[in-house]
Amino acid sequence: MIMNECEMFSNLKVPCCSKIVIRIDGRNFSQLSHNLELEKPYDLEFVKIMVKTCHDFFQEFSPSLIYTFSDEINILLNEIPFRGRLEKMDSIFASFISGTFTSNIINNKEFSKIFENPEIFIKPISFDSRVILLNSAETVKYFKYRQDKAWVNCLNGYAYWTLRREYGKDKAIQILYKKKSNQIHDILFEQDMNIADIPLWQRRGIGIYREEMIIQGYNPIINEEVMSKRWKPITDWKLPVFNEEFFHVNQIL
């Protein structure tokens, strides 16, 4: 047998005409968050490291949209890279994010916990990766589906940590057992928490995409100031609820 025939999956490809999302998720980040004593339910320093990592990905691979919340990163690619080779995409993207996240968390002064005490960074970081095939209509639905997950996470996170501080772990779990979203709303309200006061980025996640900007420049040939349009990556901490209009207006699809 020729040995490279054993590389059974290396020719597995995605169809060239589809859109793809790569979803990348931190491995065992519950443990990481415990080890790093992250703020609960949201730690702004950690989130900034995730966002910086998304930016680094954006610069390297030019996707059309990155959407992140918690330890997950959703990347929309309108053009299929690596001639569609699935193993290449999964492995390169996950390892790029793992390497960049690690470098950012160690080197970034914003993450003062590690920057000031590098010895607490105990285990190597890794992320898993999956490829999701979509058409345009499904793409909007997909991002809304992840945003709904961000919202449920947010609600459950606040409810759990608020109750846990008041009643302890077991009682908090017991109170929240099988509760629906509207019941959790009421519980938070009783705890004097108004959901509307929670920052939008916690409720809806954070987006990185290009925005059209007017750049002022100078044209030496005609000896005049000129305006030109550029698409520059921005971080949107105040995302709207994802819908077709958002994807259309920002020319994401």
Ligand X SMILES: Nc1nc2c(ncn2[C@@H]2O[C@H](COP(=O)(O)OP(=O)(O)OP(=O)(O)O)[C@@H](O)[C@H]2O)c(=O)[nH]1
Q: Give contact residues for ligand X (rule: CB under 6 A).
A: 25-30, 33, 38-43, 46-47, 70-71
In this structure, how many other beta carbons lie within 10 angstroms of the beta carbon of residue 66? 24
Q: Tell me the angle at which helices 181-190 and 169-176 cross, rounded to the nearest 10 degrees.
A: 130
The smaller minimum CB distance to ligand X, of residues 29 and 121, is found at 29
The smaller minimum CB distance to ligand X, of residues 100 and 250, is found at 100
Task: Write down the least CB distance from residue 133 to ligand X, Å.
Answer: 22
The smaller minimum CB distance to Mg ion, of residues 72 and 236, is found at 72
Bridging pattern class, strands 206-219 and 65-69? antiparallel
| Residue closest to 234 by CA, chosen among 199, 206, 201 | 206
Q: Which chain residues interact with Mg ion by CB under 5 A?
A: 25-26, 29, 71
Task: Write down the least CB distance from residue 202 to ligand X, Å.
Answer: 9
The smaller minimum CB distance to ligand X, of residues 28 and 243, is found at 28
Task: Write down the least CB distance from residue 71 to Mg ion, Å.
Answer: 4
Task: Write down the least CB distance from residue 126 to ligand X, Å.
Answer: 9
Tell me the C-alpha distance between 37 and 30, whole Å: 10
Strands across the sheet with 19-26, in order? 127-134, 19-26, 72-77, 65-69, 206-219, 224-236
The smaller minimum CB distance to ligand X, of residues 12 and 152, is found at 152
The smaller minimum CB distance to Mg ion, of residues 27 and 185, is found at 27
Partner whose binding site includes residue 43, from ligand X, Mg ion, none (CB under 5 to 8 Å by kind): ligand X
220 contacts: CB under 8 Å, gap ≥ 6: none
Task: Write down the least CB distance from residue 27 to ligand X, Å.
Answer: 4
Tell me the C-alpha distance between 44 and 113, whole Å: 12
Tell me the C-alpha distance between 253 and 232, whole Å: 16
In the DSSP assignment, the letter for residue 78 is S
Please give the structure tokens belonging to residue 162: 């608020």
Task: Write down the least CB distance from residue 72 to Mg ion, Å.
Answer: 7
Partner whose binding site includes residue 38, from ligand X, Mg ion, none (CB under 5 to 8 Å by kind): ligand X
